[in-house]
Amino acid sequence: MAQSLHTSSLVPMGFAARIRALEDAQKEQADKQKKQEDRFEVLEKEVATKDRKIEALETKLAALEQVNKERASRHTSAVAHFRALRFSHKEAREAFLQQITCLEKDEFERHMCAFATTVSTILNHEQCSHQGFVHNQPPVATYPEIAYPFYGQQPPAYHHYGGYQYQYQQPPPPPPPLPLPPQLQPQLQPQPQPQPQQQQQQPQHVPTKVVEPACCAPHNKPHPCQLCRGW
């Protein structure tokens, strides 16, 4: 419209030409407005679609947060159970407690790794000990061992390789005394052995001899009397 007015100011135009130019400008303006309205409707539809997607994502996010809370609570309870575990093997128990000391209460995976490492260590140690016990070979120690005298094969229940002594708290049998060399043996004087006390002899019971009479006094007959016997 401004261009048409500018043109009309330069080129003289009639009244009909000015009306036609004004109609063309109005039509062009209406087309632009319609395009803008169509574009606005498309944008409104896109915004509504995005709003629905955002609502769905919020619902999923809330569900995921609830699942994460439940999983965190389960992990916390599982970690509490792990921390309450106690092994009968003393060294394994101390190693497990030392590993989980620096862990947080919600680190379930690291607690599981520490538990699996402890269990595998105990199983490997028991397998090696059993193999050494079967083949009569002591386990390889990572620390210097003190040499003890060999007293022969001990019963399996008291053998320290099998683990029965520590598990059931059974003391090992006392070892026999070591024989001393003749140079270190003390010169012991023979002590008089105590004589057994003589038991006092009790008088034996001597049965008295029954003296039979020579004759029967009531009947004046020689013994045995036939009248006294009822003959």
- pLDDT-based confidence at 164, cuts 50/70/90? very low
CA 106, CA 115: separation in Å to the nearest integer? 15
CA 41, CA 228: separation in Å to the nearest integer? 159
pLDDT in tens, 11-66: 556 777 888 888 888 888 888 888 888 899 999 989 999 999 999 999 999 999 99
Q: Is the dihedral of CA 44, 46, 47, 52 positive or negative?
A: positive
Task: Tell me the average pLDDT of the chain.
Answer: 72
Which residues lie closer than 8 Å to 139 by C-beta, 6 or more apart? 125, 128, 129, 132, 161
Mean of pLDDT values over 182-193: 62
SS3 category, 64: helix
Mean of pLDDT values over 125-142: 63
Which helix (H) or strand (E) is 215 found in, with range?
strand 215-216
**Cis status of the peptide bond prior to 224, with omega within 30 of 0:** yes
CA 96, CA 111: separation in Å to the nearest integer? 9
Whether residue 146 has pLDDT greater than 50: yes
CA 214, CA 222: separation in Å to the nearest integer? 6
Whether residue 231 has pLDDT greater than 60: no
SS3 category, 221: strand
pTM exceeds 0.85 for this model:
no
pLDDT at 202: 58
> CA geometry: angle at 30 spanning 29 and 35, to 5°?
100
Amino acid at 146: I
SS3 category, 68: helix
